């Protein structure tokens, strides 16, 4: 006896549903695997405990020029989470990174300028670097185009700026290597993959940190060039040309969220971010949009929730004592 048309339709729909579930399950497993791999970077020490980027600044003195600097920056400027889930203009939102181990093959790095920026090869660490050829590139190659790889077996960090994958390696404007086992810094006056000569990865908001319940480092942020002092403070190593007025903020300077700022109305995730800003602060690392804080893309971010950070304005911060500004 032939099956009825309704029965055949039932089998057809059932097959689609099973296939859809299987596809979703594979996608979920791939996402979980990806997050598990990225979490490996949270299991290693990012610089020794005495490194400046690991120091608790919750009791550090306030800089004497704090008020005038913040007023010049705009007290009503709020935080903007420059990271999230999904895509913006076709690219993942944030600065991506990849985790490698000691078996990762090393590839050559060629330095060049292009229509986005110049060639800073003389201030760069030379390759080859253990970066996979399919490593994610920030913005899918548009804008700063950072590429970041963390060797979790050896505690080494490799970062490229204005990078593109070409042939059997990468081309870039600059490159920096950081030994995460040592308290060392870039040579004075040298850039990195960041304009301030700082590492990028240890200053990103990363979702696996949220899952651990703590961000234990300062968070990278940007402001417009007209508000940046032509100089830098330790541990930054590099400056950008501009002016040197008392109401400007140099690279490497930190802002701290005031201890009495009430965070109880924010989500648990945003509270973790804000607690870090009270304990470790935010650190000026590059030229960019005002009060953009940097993080890594992850499909687990809730973009609507992150937008609530915009209500945290500059009048709730203070500039901690900057010490000597190098020119």
SS (H, E, C) the chain: CCCCHHHHHHHHHHHHHHHHHHHHHHHHHHHHHHHHHHHHHHHCCCCCCCCHHHCCCCCCCECCCHHHHHHHHCCCCECEEECCCCEECCEECCCCCEEECCCCCCECEEECCCCCCCCCHHHCCCCCECCCCCCCCHHHHCCCCCEEEEECCCCEEEEEECCEEECCEEEECEEEEEECCCCCCCCCCCCCCCCCCCCCHHHCECHHHHHHCCCCCCEEEEECHHHEEEEECCCCCCCCCCECCCCCEEECCEEEECCCCCCCCCCHHHHHHHHHHHHCCEEEEEECCCCEEEECCCCCCCHHHHHHHHHCEHHHEEEECCCCCEC
H runs (alpha helix) in 243-302? 268-279
pTM of structure: 0.89
Q: State whether residue 6 is helix, strand or coil.
A: helix
Q: State whether residue 229 is helix, strand or coil.
A: strand
Q: What is the pLDDT of residue 34?
A: 59
Q: State whether residue 44 is helix, strand or coil.
A: coil
Residue by residue, pLDDT tens for the chain (327 residues) are 334 444 344 444 444 333 444 334 334 334 433 567 888 999 999 999 999 999 999 999 999 999 999 999 999 999 999 999 999 999 999 999 999 999 999 999 999 999 999 999 999 999 999 999 999 999 999 999 999 999 999 999 999 999 999 999 999 999 999 999 999 999 999 999 999 999 999 999 999 999 999 999 999 999 999 999 999 999 999 999 999 999 999 999 999 999 999 999 999 999 999 999 999 999 999 999 999 999 999 999 999 999 999 999 999 999 999 999 999
Residue tagged 């990103």 (tokens): 204
Residue tagged 């590839």 (tokens): 107
Question: How many alpha carbons lie under 13 Å from residue 94 in its C-beta half-sphere?
Answer: 27
Record the tokens describing residue 8, joined without a space. Answer: 């055949």
Q: What is the DSSP letter of 195?
A: T
Q: State whether residue 169 is helix, strand or coil.
A: strand
Question: How many alpha carbons lie under 13 Å from residue 190 in its C-beta half-sphere?
Answer: 18
Q: State whether residue 290 is helix, strand or coil.
A: coil
Q: What is the pLDDT of residue 18?
A: 37
Q: State whether residue 192 is helix, strand or coil.
A: coil
Cα separation of 137 and 148, whole Å? Answer: 8
Q: What is the pLDDT of residue 100?
A: 97
Burial class (CB in 10 A: 0-12, 13-18, 19+), 39: middle
Distances (CA, A) of 251 to 73, 234, 322: 14, 9, 10
């Amino acid at each position: 006896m032939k099956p009825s048309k309704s029965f055949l339709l039932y089998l057809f729909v059932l097959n689609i549903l099973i296939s859809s579930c299987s596809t979703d399950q594979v996608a979920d497993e791939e996402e979980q695997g990806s997050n598990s791999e990225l979490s490996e970077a949270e299991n290693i020490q990012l610089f020794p405990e005495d490194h400046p980027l690991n120091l608790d600044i919750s009791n550090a003195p306030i800089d004497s020029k704090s008020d005038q600097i913040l007023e010049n920056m705009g007290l009503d400027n709020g935080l903007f989470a420059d990271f999230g889930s999904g895509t913006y203009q076709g690219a993942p939102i944030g600065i991506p990174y990849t985790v490698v181990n000691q078996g990762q093959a090393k590839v050559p790095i060629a330095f060049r300028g292009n229509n986005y920026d110049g060639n800073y090869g003389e201030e760069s660490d030379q390759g080859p670097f253990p970066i996979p050829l399919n490593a994610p590139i920030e913005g899918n190659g548009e804008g700063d185009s950072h590429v970041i790889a963390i060797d979790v077996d050896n505690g080494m960090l490799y970062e490229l700026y204005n990078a593109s994958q070409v042939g059997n390696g990468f081309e870039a404007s600059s490159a920096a290597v950081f030994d995460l086992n040592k308290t060392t810094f870039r040579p004075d006056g040298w850039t990195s993959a960041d304009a301030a000569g700082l590492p990028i990865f240890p200053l990103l908001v990363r979702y696996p940190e949220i899952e651990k319940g703590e961000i234990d480092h300062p968070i990278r942020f940007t402001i417009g060039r007209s508000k940046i002092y032509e100089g830098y403070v330790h541990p930054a190593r590099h400056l950008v040309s501009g002016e040197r007025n008392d109401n400007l903020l140099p690279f490497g300077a930190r802002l701290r969220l005031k201890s009495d700022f009430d965070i109880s109305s924010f989500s648990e995730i945003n509270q973790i971010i804000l607690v870090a800003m009270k304990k470790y602060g935010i650190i000026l690392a590059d030229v960019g949009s005002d009060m953009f804080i940097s993080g890594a893309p992850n499909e687990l971010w809730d973009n609507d929730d992150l937008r609530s950070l915009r209500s945290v304005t500059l009048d709730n911060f203070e500039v901690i004592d900057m010490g000597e500004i190098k020119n």
